[in-house]
Chains A and B, each alone.
Chain A
């Protein structure tokens, strides 16, 4: 049974929270569509936002594999994001103070490798620590990384940042000329509002496909990993590390693997950001990014990959939506602090009223075959009918 065969049955089969989230996504999508069609929302800018959402979704997926699955409180998300962004920037930019001029694909590999090595270096001392100490220590080490990027001018160009980063597909045979080759379109749906689709739009289309590839690849890898025996050990560690140890698992090694995997995905977000923004600066390593990603994960539901995707979109909506508010003259102050306030209120409300998040993990952690084979039928609204796999 899929959503196309039996929409009503599919809808009834969702939990209450899923129904709510689906409805709000539909409503939100409709508002965006209206904005696009009437010309109120620039399509290029809209795609840029989609790219940002993909970037946050990647980081949330990475953090989810650390916090949601293994219970590691990692507050150095921004540092790994920054390592990915700076790795890609320094490898590929023409004006990079060191290296530079390499192919973006090579830059991607190098950036991810550096992130993996850094994850091991940070993980070796901190992963043995108690949960709350790990939080403080990782935040401290992330600050050390930020200070290094800010102050080692001969390597990173300091506060000036790195410019001149090529687009990801600049060296590719067809894709490099794709944006110029596409015809410029002018669409008029509402009279007087012209929607222009020119070269920048098609460049953004390429960026978005890159984001989609990154997110989809990470999502599939993580989903496979978390359903595997490896993922089960991680979830055991999260709920009871002593139990996992008593069962003969080397929990330190499993935590390290999970930490490195998550950090590499965060670095992937950084690589994407470098090729989207074409400029990176030490400000990108600001700890606020870490907390944005945390909001995304706890709002979506710790341990739930689709929750992490949803949380990433919500965070970008808050981040960019508050910028949009600045256009209303009747708000008598700059709306930047409003963003901070909203994020804070959101954290407190989620922790107070729904600490498990909006979309806590349910069926996604269970092999479909395991449900089919079971003799007892789960109750309605548990979203775990026998054989109900096709909607994933």
Chain B
């Protein structure tokens, strides 16, 4: 495996992590708790897309080896994750008055409910989208890079989504309100921003992006009821590395953690005997170190 190929894989994996990290960071700062159900929200998105894709089929043409039907399924998956998250917020979180720690524990219960329902319906086994696996792109092979058009599609789609979020945050009224609220909820409320509405929008955006990330994760690897929960700690690592509450920090953190976890084989190439089986462990250790040395993360303001 060449380093270039590892970088390419890292780029694809990073795209998925970034989509997950943004939502977790948004919800962490606005709803003010560590949402342990976020990973399973990604799983909800992935399985909703699986069902939709099975129903609508391929719909004629295709882009980058992906039929149009897949993009419909992607939208449905993101929408389903958003709906599920908003319903959960309305039914469970909103009425609770037990502080951020109580919400954290509750969110673990919510995560189990999501996963339990998915597993009852689909079983515990791995599944795949019914899309033919592609051969690696020919003209990149001489450089030692084996990636498929699907991987390229993941990176481009993630870039489009993240770019769209950037425009939303920087150039629209809604985005300004969201940033104000992430910065200081009390100040935002006193300035006349309807904070409840913004909180709901935050859940929609955060969970929608997570749902899309879940669909891509299913395309990149496979679908399994545990897929989201397994990714959750990496997403936490990314969010903490970037700085909780900072959306751009979450993007950067997701990118770095994705790269680090896929570039683990480089350690063995340079003679450090840490195998690829420890790629997650490295990310977790980085997370703990960041928490100790700079709890505000890369992009957070130093206190």
Contact = CB atoms under 8 A, between A and B. Distances in A.
Interface residues of A, number: 42
A342 B114 CA distance: 11
Contacts of A133: 240, 291, 295
Contacts of A343: 109, 112
B77 to A, nearest CB: 21
A358 B278 CA distance: 41
B285 A144 contact: yes
B277 A147 contact: yes
Interface string A100-131: 00000000000000000000000001101111
Given A135-B34, A136-B240, A352-B95, A345 B109 contact: yes
Contact of A132 (B100, B111, B115, B284): B100
B117 interface: yes
A344 B225 CA distance: 15
A139 B39 CA distance: 14
B116 A143 contact: no
A151 B123 contact: no
Given A140-B288, A147-B277, A340 B115 contact: yes
A298 interface: yes
Interface in A323-360: 333-334, 336-348, 351-352, 355
B281 interface: yes
Nearest to A343: B112
B124 A337 contact: yes
The CB with the most chain B CB atoms within 10 A, among A126, A336, A337, A352, is that of A337
A137 interface: yes
Given A137-B291, A144-B281, A151-B278, A344 B109 contact: yes
Interface in A25-80: 73
B113 A345 contact: yes
B237 A140 contact: yes
**Interface extent on B, as a size class?**
35 or more
A141 B289 CA distance: 11
Interface in B243-272: none
B134 interface: no
Contacts of B4: none
B236 A136 contact: yes
A352 B105 CA distance: 11
B119 A141 contact: no
Contacts of A131: 100-101
Nearest to A140: B284
Nearest to A345: B113
Q: Is the interface of B mostly helix, strand, loop or mixed?
A: helix
Contacts of A144: 281, 284-285
Nearest to A298: B105
Interface string B101-129: 11011101111111111111001100000
A294 interface: yes
Contacts of B33: 132
A183 to B, nearest CB: 45
B96 interface: yes
A347 B119 contact: no
Nearest to B279: A147
Interface centre among A334, A341, A343 (most CB of B within 10 A): A341
A347 B100 contact: no
B295 A130 contact: yes
A291 interface: yes
Contact of A73 (B101, B123, B236, B291): B101
Contact of B101 (A125, A132, A137, A352): A132
A229 B246 CA distance: 43
Given A135-B104, A143-B233, A336-B124, A347 B112 contact: yes
Nearest to A147: B281
Interface in B131-188: none
A79 to B, nearest CB: 12
B84 to A, nearest CB: 14
A129 B292 contact: yes
B295 A347 contact: no
18 contacts: A126-B288, A126-B291, A128-B292, A137-B287, A141-B288, A143-B280, A144-B281, A147-B277, A151-B277, A294-B108, A334-B124, A337-B225, A341-B116, A343-B109, A344-B109, A344-B113, A345-B113, A355-B102
**Nearest 6 CB-CB pairings of A with B:** A347-B109, A344-B112, A341-B116, A337-B119, A140-B284, A344-B113
